[in-house]
């Protein structure tokens, strides 16, 4: 374990994370429009949702249609805890993430036994169940009005989160930490076991892999990471709404993955950025933003047939292989270390 902590791969990722965090912190200083900060906080929240969903879809081959359930669970648990006024923000965060993990453990224990489309549908069913609970349990959740009354932001260690810049910085730090955690998991022996399961679960089982337990493990971890996205959003908008748990939120997360790509680790973030930018600008110019979004998605799906990040990555790989004398430098940050195979594999989810 100790040697693993010192491995060059991790050091490289940590260095990249620090650089990314620095960039995220400098960005609003360079362009001090509040709209950019708000945009980025939304990006953090939905980015974590999409990235964690891709741990299931891209890494393990589990297509979950109900991932937003845990996004909402995190948001509501955090909001409710903060409204009691008795817990600090870090404690409420830990409790919300832990609570979501427990919920996911129970739901996942049922879901991961099912395969393919049945898995997708039962995750959707549980999501609608959680959505109904939120809408009908008015005394606790405020029903379809959402969690009202605001979420207080007591200072942590002298940091006043009511200051928009401090709030932004805290969200950015949490976001980068979570991405780093997901990167570590995807590059760990566990992550490679999940790749085996994605490629060939029957053979993985014949090689002594407890497929059900591994799937449950990643299901719970992905749910926990999604809940962090939810609580960032709750903290920012100072409330939580049933739409967080609605199937359209899960659908958006799947769109983000499809737009960005499943094979590159950071692909879903590219998709999140793309979808959000589209959303942002299209709604300014037209009421029919659904129509425009749908068209763009159609063009990408039909034209590229895979995510944008995948296309760019393959293009870079292609350029590298056409120059055979170039030493194989470090792979682009966030990319899979293995070169992508040609032909047959391009169409499949790697």
Partner 1 sequence: MLRVEHLSKSFGGVCASRDVSIDFPTGSLTAIIGPNGAGKTTFFNLISGHVRPDEGRVVFDGADIVGLSSLEVVRRGMARAFQVASLFPSLTVREALTAAVVSHRRGSARVFTRFPVAAAGRQADEIMDLMGLSPKAKVVSANLSHGDQKLLDIGLALAMDPKMLLLDEPTAGMGPEERWRMIGKVHSLWQVTGMTMLFIEHDMDIVFKIAQTIHVLKYGAVLAQGNPEEIRRNKDVIDAYLGTDHRLSETVGEA
Q: Look at residues 349, 64, 343, 90 and name the one whose alpha carbon lies nearest to residue 221.
A: 64
Positions in 41-70 near partner 1 (CB under 8 A):
none
From 127-135, 224-232, 237-245, 338-346, span contacting partner 1 (CB under 8 A): 338-346
Q: Where do the H-state alpha helices sit in 188-338? A: 189-199, 201-206, 211-237, 247-260, 267-285, 289-303, 308-322
User: DSSP code of 330?
Assistant: P
From 4-12, 32-40, 134-142, 318-326, span contacting partner 1 (CB under 8 A): 4-12
- 1 vs 35, which CB is nearer to partner 1? 1
Residue with tokens 């979004």: 293
How far apart, in whole angstroms, are the C-alpha atoms of residue 192 and residue 194?
5
* 1 belongs to the binding site for partner 1 (CB under 8 A): yes
State the nearest-atom distance from the C-beta of 329 to partner 1, in Å: 15
From 36-44, 73-81, 161-169, 202-210, span contacting partner 1 (CB under 8 A): 202-210
How far apart, in whole angstroms, are the C-alpha atoms of residue 178 and residue 197?
24
Residue with tokens 């948001």: 75
177 C-beta neighbours (distance < 10 Å), count: 13
Phi first, then psi: what are they for 337, rounded to 5°? -70, -25
- Cα torsion angle, 168, 173, 178, 182, sign: positive
Residue with tokens 């810049």: 165
User: DSSP code of 146?
Assistant: -
User: DSSP code of 84?
Assistant: T
* 199 belongs to the binding site for partner 1 (CB under 8 A): yes
- 28 vs 217, which CB is nearer to partner 1? 217
State the nearest-atom distance from the C-beta of 18 to partner 1, in Å: 18
From 5-13, 172-180, 234-242, 305-313, span contacting partner 1 (CB under 8 A): 5-13
* 157 belongs to the binding site for partner 1 (CB under 8 A): no
Interacting residue with partner 1 among 85, 208, 303, 324 (CB under 8 A): 208
- 208 vs 303, which CB is nearer to partner 1? 208
* 338 belongs to the binding site for partner 1 (CB under 8 A): yes
Contact 330, 12 (CB under 8 A): yes
Interacting residue with partner 1 among 54, 100, 123, 193 (CB under 8 A): 193
Size of the site for partner 1 (CB under 8 A): 41
Q: At what angle do helices 68-83 and 116-136 cross, to 10 degrees?
A: 30
Q: How far is CA 35 from CA 39, 170, 269, 274, in A?
A: 6, 17, 19, 17
- 1 vs 157, which CB is nearer to partner 1? 1
* 348 belongs to the binding site for partner 1 (CB under 8 A): yes
- 184 vs 238, which CB is nearer to partner 1? 184
* 202 belongs to the binding site for partner 1 (CB under 8 A): yes
Interacting residue with partner 1 among 95, 102, 196, 278 (CB under 8 A): 196
Interacting residue with partner 1 among 136, 188, 277, 321 (CB under 8 A): 188
State the nearest-atom distance from the C-beta of 44 to partner 1, in Å: 23
Question: What are the residues whose beta carbons fall under 8 Å from the beta carbon of 210, sequence distance 6 or more?
Answer: none
Q: Which residues contact partner 1 by CB under 8 A? A: 1, 3-5, 7, 9-10, 184-185, 187-193, 195-196, 198-200, 202-210, 213-214, 217, 338-339, 341-342, 344-345, 348, 350
């Amino acid at each position: 374990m100790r040697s693993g902590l010192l491995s060059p791969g991790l050091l490289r990722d940590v260095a990249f994370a620090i650089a990314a965090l620095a960039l995220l912190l400098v960005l609003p200083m360079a362009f001090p429009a509040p709209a950019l900060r708000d945009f980025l906080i939304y990006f953090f929240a939905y980015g974590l949702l999409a990235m964690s969903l891709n741990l299931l879809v891209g890494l393990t081959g589990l297509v979950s249609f109900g991932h937003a359930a845990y996004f909402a669970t995190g948001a509501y648990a955090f909001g409710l805890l903060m409204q009691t006024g008795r817990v600090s923000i870090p404690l409420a965060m830990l409790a919300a993430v832990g609570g979501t993990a427990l919920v996911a453990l129970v739901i996942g224990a049922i879901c991961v036994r099912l395969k393919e489309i049945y898995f997708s549908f039962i995750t959707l069913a549980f999501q609608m169940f959680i959505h109904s609970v939120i809408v009908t349990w008015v005394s606790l959740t405020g029903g379809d009005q959402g969690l009202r009354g605001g979420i207080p932001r007591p200072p942590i260690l002298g940091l006043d989160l009511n200051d928009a810049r401090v709030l932004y910085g805290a969200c950015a730090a949490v976001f980068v930490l979570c991405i780093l955690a997901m990167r570590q998991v995807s590059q760990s022996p566990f992550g490679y076991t999940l790749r085996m399961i994605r490629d060939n679960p029957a053979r993985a089982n014949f090689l002594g892999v407890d497929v059900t337990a591994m799937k449950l493990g990643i299901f719970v971890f992905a749910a926990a990471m999604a809940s962090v996205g939810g609580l960032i959003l709750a903290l920012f908008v100072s409330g939580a709404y049933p739409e967080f748990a609605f199937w359209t939120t899960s659908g958006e997360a799947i769109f983000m993955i499809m737009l960005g790509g499943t094979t590159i680790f950071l692909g879903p973030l590219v998709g999140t950025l793309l979808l959000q930018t589209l959303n942002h600008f299209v709604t300014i110019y037209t009421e029919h933003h659904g129509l425009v979004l749908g068209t763009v998605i159609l063009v990408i799906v039909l034209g590229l047939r895979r995510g944008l990040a995948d296309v760019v990555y393959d293009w870079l790989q292609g350029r590298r292989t056409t120059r055979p004398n170039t030493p194989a430098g470090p792979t682009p940050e966030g990319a899979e270390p293995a070169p992508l195979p040609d032909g047959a594999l391009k169409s499949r989810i790697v």
